[in-house]
Amino acid sequence: MTTVDEAVAGTTHIVRGARVEARHIVKRYGAAAALNDVSVVIEPGTIHALVGENGAGKSTLGKILAGAVIPNSGEIIVDGELVRYRSPRDAIRLGIAIIDQELAMVPTMSVLDNVFLGSELGEHGVLDRATQRHQFADLAQRLGFAPTADIKVAELRVADQQKIEIMRALVRNARMIVMDEPTAALTREEAQRLLDLTRQLSATGVTIVYVSHFLDDVLALCDTITVLKDGRHVKTVAASDETKDSLVTSMIGRSLDLQFPARTPPPDDATIVLSVRNLRRDRAFEEISFDIRAGEIVGLAGLVGSGRTEIARAIFGADPSGGEVSVEGQLLRARSPQGRIRRGLAMLPESRKDQGLVMMRPVNENTTMAHMRSITRRFGLHRGLERQVVGEAMVRVDVRAASQTMPIRSLSGGNQQKVSLAKWLVETPKVLIADEPTRGIDVGAKLGIYEMLHALAAGGMAVLLISSEIEEVLGLAHRVLVLREGRIVAEFDGGADQDRVMRAAFGSTVNLGTGSQPAPDHESDLRGQ
Amino acid sequence: MTDTLVTDGPNATDRRRSWLTPSFFREYAIIGAFVVLFILLSATSDVFLTQRNLLNLAGQQAPVAILAFAFTWLLINGEFDLSAGALVVLSGVLAANLHDDFGSWPGFFIGIGAATACGVFNGWLVAYVRVNSFVSTLATGIIFYGIQLVITKGRLVTITGDESFKTLGQHEFLGIYWSVWIMLLSGIAVSFVLSRTKLGRRVFAVGGNPVAARLSGINVQAVKLLSFTVIGLAAGIAGAILTSRTNTGQPDQGTTHVFSAFSAVVVGGTSIGGGRGAVWRTVLGVFFLAMITNGFNLLNISIYYQQVIQGLIILLAVAVDALSTSKE
């Protein structure tokens, strides 16, 4: 336990920061490659940012550096030595810690106990609480803040919980700390304080890897910036040579060769099907108002945490919210998914495995789950009718399954997603909310889903499309609403230039024009309204 | 029921399909074990395969089986009920204590009704107050048992000289105990609901993935409330049969029946994780465990070994369930 003494010897203590190198890292999730041959060197004592679009692989790379994710291939070299992590514990032993978006604390235990969790001081299993307190006080002084040691972690704000995580990393003698989107859940002032704290930490020698999509923070804080795009390394540069716009320019650009089906615009006299007015929820989103007409696909674009999914869930009645949602002019009073499904709403949720399907149940049960009324006769469920209904739905969405009664988990991701969609087509809804409809599925299945969404819109449905792949939103939607920090900040016509949408999402207003074509659309900036 | 057999079967697209996987064991081991034990007992004991022995076996197991059917439902729904034992006792004790004032049948109905009402209360706590079902039914079980003690003041009430009180547990209809008829009816009813109705599908969906069920428009809370109501009803009926069989309202039995019922469900192969299971499995589970006891008695094997072996079988069943679930 003497190592802890070294780590907390006081404000003058300087840590020898870790030098970490990643070579040719490849990480695949199913068919999709999250990282493809990425190499990067994190110099000791620096603050090194990892930036990129949604899904560029920045979080994955950060987790791989900290041993929280194991790559499929590639090497990690710490201080010149090749290491092979099997778990985050191996990384911690080398002095590398991660502060994840999901904080890893025991909320019911005290601050002090959490800081020393897993590295308790004492002899023969008996806690030495006095020494723990002493070291805790030293740490607090070194970091320049003084949390109460005895309060339960659950009672702290997220910002303070993060500081506790940092303290824990230091108690474990961390020489490098990976911070994954540390400011995403913080207010502006809290974020500012965290940046100050990070600078102080860096001044004591600790190496910091800072994963974030807040480019202003990155530019103000970091020494070096690595830009990733579609799982590939774009560049590693000194932060002083970059501007927000130069960064945005290098992280975007059409990269997928996906063919989107031709858009048929809704007729001019198409009626408004979905109408959202002043939808709001504390700390999530506010002043959300828009309409979707029959036959129209409206896309919601924005960064992770901008409120896309939260808005979708609120419209569907899955989460409570203020404001009004109307379908075909009628205000929806029901506040539950159950009530809103009856009024013609349907939602393909963000995660088919956790929210969409009952994985252990067969295809037919999953397909009819939301509309069992249509297969019920006087003496219970009608098996023949169900076979017929499910068969028709499977053909309609082109699901390839050996039988209707095979467990859904034995299907491929693409076919699972098609079943999630088929579930909502047993009775045709008026509004379809599709949240990440193509996440984690192969290109062929993606195209299938695209065509189906178009066909459904062409049939008069109002479609709200959410995707973190900006190409997808621009390629499919007739209209795109851009969200930033829970507000609609811009609106574009479908087929708008990707640069301009991304700049709106990142809050970068200067248009450098590099690589951007003349925009064939009209842009209306809603911020002034 | 055959459909459930197919649908909760092992992964059909496993490329390297092996017969010795945990999930194969979970699905089909109970059938093999049941058949082997049945043949073994028929061969080694002269008494086992007689109509009298089998009918007695069925009559003995009726209360446990009725409880086990409701437990199957509840486990598929992803919940648990530790208070069912107290409800078995409460129902029987009420029937016996009310007998002199109201007669046999009103007593039974009030007892069953009270147990059902307690089930509703359990369901409300779990579904609407959102208390973990293990903890809430542990607490309510103590309360229900206490209520029963308040009613009886701990006295053992014996009913003598009224044949109608014996109907459920000791009389026969068409050569078969009334309790066995009730067991058959409730088995068919629960099986039908689970495999052939909207409600059944909802029970599976809520147990398998409550989030997906809610987002599919299923009223998760109402389904859970109903599941607890059903086990309250089943506990009430089981209590009535037990009281009728012994002519007494005994304040100190019940818990053992609940554990037998739960063991039978698990041994049958219904997952304790929720979302899968079937009534036919529980039927096999109940009678497999009963045959072990019955067979050991017929073969004069010590009761001490029975305990050890029953415990090992339950442990094996739970371990196989855990292994097969983690492999998915």
- Dihedral over Cα of A319, A295, A386, A413: its sign: negative
**Which residues 303-322 of A have a C-beta within 8 angstroms of B?**
316, 318
| pLDDT tens profile B113-123 | 999 999 999 99
The answer to whether the CB of B43 falls within 8 A of the CB of B170 is: no
Q: Quick one: closest CA in B to A364, which residue?
A: B7
**Residue B310: per-residue pLDDT:** 82
Residues of B in contact with A359 (CB under 8 A): 208-209, 328
The answer to whether the CB of A287 falls within 8 A of the CB of A322 is: no
Which one of B201, B206, B219, B321 would you mutate to disrupt binding with A, by most A Cβ within 10 Å of its Cβ?
A: B201
Residue ranges in chain A whose pLDDT is less than 50: 1-12, 254-256, 510-529
**Residue B204: per-residue pLDDT:** 94
- Going by pLDDT thresholds of 50, 70 and 90, the confidence category of residue B5 is very low
Closest Cα of chain B to A428: distance in Å? Answer: 14
Q: Answer whether A368 touches B (CB < 8 Å).
A: yes
**Residue B252: per-residue pLDDT:** 63
pTM, two decimals, is 0.73
Q: What's the CA gap between B33 and B16, in Å, rounded?
A: 25
**Residue A509: per-residue pLDDT:** 56
Q: Quick one: closest CA in A to B328, which residue?
A: A409
**Residue A438: per-residue pLDDT:** 86
**Residue A9: per-residue pLDDT:** 43
Of B3, B7, B214, the CB nearest to A337: B214
Q: Tell the burial category of A229 from Cβ atoms under 10 Å away from its Cβ (0-12, 13-18, 19+).
A: buried
Contact B216 A383 (CB under 8 A): no
Q: Answer whether A506 touches B (CB < 8 Å).
A: no
- CA-nearest of B68, B79, B75, B85 to B142 is B85
**Residue A518: per-residue pLDDT:** 38
Q: In what order do the strands lie in the sheet with A207-211?
A: A96-99, A176-180, A207-211, A47-52, A224-229, A232-238
DSSP-derived secondary structure for A61-94: HHHHHTTSS--SEEEEEETTEEE--SSHHHHHHT
Closest Cα of chain A to B127: distance in Å? Answer: 16
| Other CB atoms within 10 Å distance of the CB of residue A12 | 7
**Residue A59: per-residue pLDDT:** 87
Q: Answer whether A362 touches B (CB < 8 Å).
A: yes
Comparison of pLDDT for A135 and B325, the residue scoring more:
A135
Angle at the Cα of A75 (from A69 to A76), degrees rounded to 5? 70
Comparison of pLDDT for B12 and B249, the residue scoring more:
B249
**Which residues 407-446 of A have a C-beta within 8 angstroms of B?**
407, 409-410, 423
> B128 CB contacts (<8 Å, ≥6 apart)?
B221, B225
The answer to whether the CB of A295 falls within 8 A of the CB of A457 is: yes
- CA-nearest of B206, B191, B186, B187 to B2 is B191
Closest Cα of chain A to B197: distance in Å? Answer: 5
SS3 A284: coil
Q: Quick one: closest CA in A to B222, which residue?
A: A338
**C-alpha B175, offset from chain centre:** 24
DSSP-derived secondary structure for A149-169: TTSBGGGS-HHHHHHHHHHHH
Q: What's the CA gap between A239 and A218, in Å, rounded?
A: 8
Residues of A in contact with B3 (CB under 8 A): 383, 405
- CA-nearest of A470, A466, A477 to A504 is A470
Contact A361 B204 (CB under 8 A): yes
Closest Cα of chain A to B205: distance in Å? Answer: 6
Q: Please check the confidence at residue B223 and state whether its pLDDT lies above 90.
A: yes
Beta-carbon pairs below 8 A across chains A and B? 101
**Residue A30: per-residue pLDDT:** 65
Residues of A in contact with B7 (CB under 8 A): 361-362, 365, 405, 407
- Going by pLDDT thresholds of 50, 70 and 90, the confidence category of residue B220 is very high
Q: Please check the confidence at residue B282 and state whether its pLDDT lies above 90.
A: yes
**Residue A340: per-residue pLDDT:** 94
**Residue B19: per-residue pLDDT:** 61
Closest Cα of chain A to B202: distance in Å? Answer: 8
**Residue A250: per-residue pLDDT:** 82
Integer Rg of chain A from CA:
25
Q: Quick one: closest CA in A to B6, which residue?
A: A405
- CA-nearest of B261, B260, B254 to B145 is B254
Q: What's the CA gap between B280 and B270, in Å, rounded?
A: 10
**Residue B151: per-residue pLDDT:** 84
Q: What's the CA gap between B195 and A361, in Å, rounded?
A: 12
| pLDDT tens profile B180-211 | 999 999 999 999 999 989 999 999 999 999 99
Q: Answer whether A376 touches B (CB < 8 Å).
A: yes
Q: Answer whether A341 touches B (CB < 8 Å).
A: yes
Q: Which value does ipTM take for this structure?
A: 0.81
**Residue B162: per-residue pLDDT:** 79
Least confident of A4-18, A432-446, B76-90, B234-248: A4-18
**Residue A116: per-residue pLDDT:** 85
Q: What is the mean pLDDT of chain A?
A: 83
Of A316, A360, A380, the CB nearest to B276: A360
The answer to whether the CB of B62 falls within 8 A of the CB of B180 is: yes
DSSP-derived secondary structure for B183-198: HHHHHHHHHHHHHHSH
Residues of B in contact with A390 (CB under 8 A): none
The answer to whether the CB of B289 falls within 8 A of the CB of B239 is: no
Q: What's the CA gap between A502 and A253, in Å, rounded?
A: 10
Closest Cα of chain B to A306: distance in Å? Answer: 22
Closest Cα of chain A to B209: distance in Å? Answer: 5
**Residue B14: per-residue pLDDT:** 39
Q: What's the CA gap between B22 and A412, in Å, rounded?
A: 23
The answer to whether the CB of A25 falls within 8 A of the CB of A71 is: yes
Q: For the residues B267-274, what does the mean pLDDT come to?
A: 89
